[in-house]
């Protein structure tokens, strides 16, 4: 499934295409029935922003770009004069590459016949309490006029366009992916995926059994449970350190959760000027503020263990914080790396408080520490997750309409009847963001004003749209049965083709598309639509082209010389020629 925004193919596209084509041809030669389709994931912010930049309606730019990507102009009958000017050479890009796609199964997420079923799946989520509205802090980009997902924010600016992003509370649609956190985590073990991808999902879900300690803060001699560090430090931190903390937290707040928890990022932080008293040893522990600790995880404060956690070790090493080993591996080999496995507990006893665990296995010692903390009121056992519910609304035009209405008299949410699907987008001449937070669809007053399909009461439609990930969550099922107008996929065809044997895609989708697809698939499994617990049996990452090649100039069809900055920004047909 290709995301066909922009001006056409670049050299990165054939990289993944070639891998799947080699495998498809091999399996056909070995006598297998092979499903090797192609489709277009064309809703979302990149496609709409490209349309705004070019001054063209996103429907037109999307269809034009699909033409540029697909193999043969015969597969799409042009009905608008604007398409007649498109260079026929661009229609033949994929054909010239010779890929063996099954074009009879071609789909596009922007076609009403397709997104009818995306909307249907949303209604199933709503029916089961997995879709809801809540006021949550969001990444708001004034320039783009929309909420951005964490993955769309880099260094405090939008990934698309580099516009400043701020955090502000807004009422948004959310999907309760957290209800599936345990299953999403545990079922990873059975998948033939790169271990790095599985580890990224494990870290993103972030399940951990923790002991929530109660500390005595030495800056103020009151006993209090750990809370959000930012609010505590406002009253406890010396003035100099307080200014540094405030400056640092302001910078950190502009980063997305995904960016802050990136394993390869350089660790940053500031010392708060405060200390907490270790409830077991009585030692003073320095309190630092670091952006890799998420405020939404647990209480927002952690007890770092540099010797036994890679990120904590990197942080402690950078800021010269003492590192103390408390678990010794059985082979007593301390390599200088963080050790997170089982072993024998050392440097951990204090007989004066009644806790003597030196020499015990780490598993046995953990149980005794929890028992001691609970008995002495120094802490409580808890299970934490880093995973948060999926923010599922965008204040943009080019996306699937959300199939609900709100009654005028009381604001009650009423889902559309399945017989009313698809709810199609209205035609808008002005589809640009309003700049006020109101979605562009609010401009279509005649579309917004409607009636409750059951009671006939006056109502208004939802004007936010679904994010670009919605249509790509389930496209693999539609490839199995693309012309079915009665259901998402026929049971016989789903059972024949499922699960997908090989998925070739980028590692950048590890905690986005791949995780979202697994979530939707498990919901569909629970309601009997699919027969497998997982959508993709094997995942292969094709890698990313990193090298830059400068093209000084080339001639276009009119004989004009056009400059190009890098190989990946030049269309494939130009590179080929």
- Do 218 and 323 lie in one domain? The reply is yes
pLDDT in tens, 277-311: 988 888 899 999 998 887 766 777 888 999 999 88
Spatial neighbors of 260 by CB under 8 A, at least 6 apart, are 252, 291, 292, 294
- Do 261 and 361 lie in one domain? The reply is yes
- Residue % of the chain over a pLDDT of 90: 45
Are 328 and 256 in contact by the 8 Å Cβ rule? The answer is: no
Check residue 10 and give its pLDDT.
Answer: 60
- Do 252 and 373 lie in one domain? The reply is yes
- Do 349 and 399 lie in one domain? The reply is no
Average pLDDT over residues 35-64: 82
Range of the domain at 241: 208-383
- Do 235 and 369 lie in one domain? The reply is yes
- Do 321 and 276 lie in one domain? The reply is yes
The answer to whether residue 70 is domain-embedded is no
Taking alpha carbons only, the member of 68, 114, 71, 124 closest to residue 94 is 71
- Do 419 and 278 lie in one domain? The reply is no
- Do 274 and 377 lie in one domain? The reply is yes
Confidence of residue 103 (pLDDT cuts 50, 70, 90): confident
pLDDT in tens, 233-291: 444 555 667 888 888 888 887 776 767 777 667 889 999 888 989 888 888 999 999 98
- Highest mean pLDDT pick, 238-242, 275-279, 401-405, 542-546: 401-405
Average pLDDT over residues 484-511: 93
- Do 421 and 453 lie in one domain? The reply is yes
Check residue 554 and give its pLDDT.
Answer: 52
The answer to whether residue 46 is domain-embedded is no
Confidence of residue 109 (pLDDT cuts 50, 70, 90): very high
The answer to whether residue 31 is domain-embedded is no
- Do 212 and 296 lie in one domain? The reply is yes
Average pLDDT over residues 551-569: 51
Q: Calculate the average pLDDT of the chain.
A: 82
Phi, psi dihedrals of residue 569, rounded to the nearest 5°: -100, 0
Average pLDDT over residues 87-109: 70
- Do 379 and 404 lie in one domain? The reply is no
- Do 346 and 395 lie in one domain? The reply is no
Average pLDDT over residues 221-231: 41
Are 437 and 135 in contact by the 8 Å Cβ rule? The answer is: no
Task: Fill in the DSSP letter of residue 284.
Answer: E
C-alpha 531/C-alpha 495 separation (Å) is: 6
The answer to whether residue 48 is domain-embedded is no
Please count the structural domains in the chain. Answer: 2
Confidence of residue 547 (pLDDT cuts 50, 70, 90): low
pLDDT above 90 (res 459): yes
Position with higher pLDDT, 409 vs 554? 409
The answer to whether residue 565 is domain-embedded is no
Tell whether pTM > 0.75: no
The answer to whether residue 523 is domain-embedded is no
The answer to whether residue 170 is domain-embedded is yes
Confidence of residue 73 (pLDDT cuts 50, 70, 90): very low
The answer to whether residue 361 is domain-embedded is yes
The CATH number of whichever domain residue 281 belongs to comes to: 3.90.740.10
561-564 and 449-451 strand pairing: unpaired
**Where a domain ends, among 418, 434, 461?**
461
pLDDT in tens, 131-187: 999 988 888 888 887 787 666 777 788 877 888 888 788 889 999 999 999 999 999
Distances (CA, A) of 104 to 35, 76, 111, 372, 379: 11, 12, 16, 66, 61
Are 64 and 85 in contact by the 8 Å Cβ rule? The answer is: no
**Where a domain ends, among 383, 401, 420?**
383
pLDDT above 70 (res 84): no
Q: At what angle do helices 195-205 and 513-526 cross, to 10 degrees?
A: 70
C-alpha 295/C-alpha 224 separation (Å) is: 18
Task: Fill in the DSSP letter of residue 351.
Answer: G
**Where a domain ends, among 383, 411, 436?**
383
């Amino acid at each position: 499934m290709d995301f066909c925004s922009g001006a056409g193919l670049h050299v990165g596209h054939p990289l993944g295409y070639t891998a799947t084509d080699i495998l498809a041809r091999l399996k056909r030669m070995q006598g297998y029935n092979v499903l090797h389709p192609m489709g277009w994931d064309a809703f979302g912010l990149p496609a709409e922003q490209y349309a705004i930049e070019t001054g063209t309606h996103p429907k037109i730019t999307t269809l034009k770009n699909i033409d540029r990507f697909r193999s043969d102009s015969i597969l799409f009958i042009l009905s608008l004069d604007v398409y007649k000017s498109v260079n026929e050479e661009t229609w033949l890009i994929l054909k010239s590459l010779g890929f063996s796609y099954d074009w009879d199964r071609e789909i596009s997420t922007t076609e009403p016949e397709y997104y009818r079923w995306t909307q249907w799946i949303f209604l199933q989520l709503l029916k089961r309490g997995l879709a809801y509205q809540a006021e949550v802090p969001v990444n708001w980009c004034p320039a783009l006029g929309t909420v951005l997902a964490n993955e769309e924010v880099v260094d405090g600016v939008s990934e698309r366009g580099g516009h400043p992003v701020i955090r502000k509370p807004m009422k948004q649609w959310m999907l309760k992916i957290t209800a599936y956190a345990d299953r999403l985590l545990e079922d990873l073990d059975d998948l033939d995926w790169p271990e790095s991808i599985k580890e990224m999902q494990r870290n993103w879900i972030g399940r951990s059994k923790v002991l929530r300690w109660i500390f005595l803060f030495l800056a103020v001699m009151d006993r209090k449970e750990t809370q959000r560090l930012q609010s505590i430090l406002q009253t406890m931190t010396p003035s100099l350190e307080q200014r540094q903390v405030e400056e640092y937290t302001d910078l950190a707040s502009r980063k997305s959760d995904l960016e802050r928890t990136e394993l390869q990022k350089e660790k940053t932080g500031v010392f708060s000027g405060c200390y907490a008293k270790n409830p077991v040893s009585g030692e003073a522990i320095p309190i630092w503020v670091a952006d890799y600790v998420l405020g939404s995880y647990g209480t927002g404060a952690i007890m770092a263990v540099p010797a036994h956690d890679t990120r904590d070790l990197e942080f402690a090493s950078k800021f010269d914080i003492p590192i103390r080993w408390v678990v010794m591996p059985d082979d007593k080999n301390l390599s200088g790396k963080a050790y997170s496995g089982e072993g024998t507990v050392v440097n951990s006893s204090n007989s004066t408080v009644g806790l003597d665990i030196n020499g015990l296995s780490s598993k046995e010692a953990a149980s005794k520490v929890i028992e001691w903390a609970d008995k002495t009121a120094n802490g409580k056992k808890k299970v934490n997750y880093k995973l948060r519910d999926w923010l599922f609304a965008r204040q943009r035009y080019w996306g699937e309409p959300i199939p609900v209405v709100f009654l005028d008299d009381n604001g009650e949410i009423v889902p559309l009847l399945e017989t009313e699907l698809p709810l199609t987008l209205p035609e808008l001449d002005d589809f640009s963001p309003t700049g006020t937070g109101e979605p562009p669809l609010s401009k279509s007053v005649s579309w917004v004003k409607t009636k409750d399909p059951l009671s006939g009461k006056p109502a208004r439609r939802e004007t936010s749209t679904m994010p670009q990930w919605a249509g790509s969550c389930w496209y693999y099922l539609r490839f199995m049965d693309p012309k079915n107008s009665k259901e998402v996929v026929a049971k016989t065809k789903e059972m024949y083709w499922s699960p997908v044997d090989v998925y070739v895609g980028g590692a950048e989708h590890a905690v986005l598309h791949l995780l979202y697809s697994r979530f939707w698939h498990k919901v569909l499994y629970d309601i009997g639509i699919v027969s497998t617990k997982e959508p993709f049996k094997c995942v292969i990452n094709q890698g990313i082209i990193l090298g830059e090649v400068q093209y000084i100039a080339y001639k276009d069809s009119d004989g004009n010389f056009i400059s190009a900055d890098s190989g990946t920004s030049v269309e494939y047909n130009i590179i080929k020629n």
